[in-house]
Amino acid sequence: MSGFEFKCKDIGMNCGFEVKGASSRDEMMQIVSAHAKGAHNMTTIPPDIASKVSSAIKS
């Protein structure tokens, strides 16, 4: 278990945000949701973005 990784640019965002070491996909989705809200003005994550995020999460 080395944790999960996500990079915003992997879903096509012009954004340097990245997360390393989240302990679960659920935790990662929470971190990414908070980032999307604050940085990308997404109060909720649209389903197509959520599925892109999900497939961009690496473990």
Residues found near Zn ion in the complex (CB under 5 A): 8, 13, 15, 17, 39
User: What CA–CA distance (Å, rounded) separates 39 from 15?
Assistant: 9
Q: Which is nearer to Zn ion, 9 or 21 (CB)?
A: 9
- Residues 6 and 58: beta-carbon distance below 8 Å: yes
Structure tokens at 21: 């070491």
Question: 35 is written with which tokens?
Answer: 């980032």
Report, in Å, the least distance between residue 7 CB and Zn ion. Answer: 9
Name which of 1 and 48 has its Cβ closer to Zn ion. Answer: 48
Nearer CB in complex with Zn ion: 1/50: 50
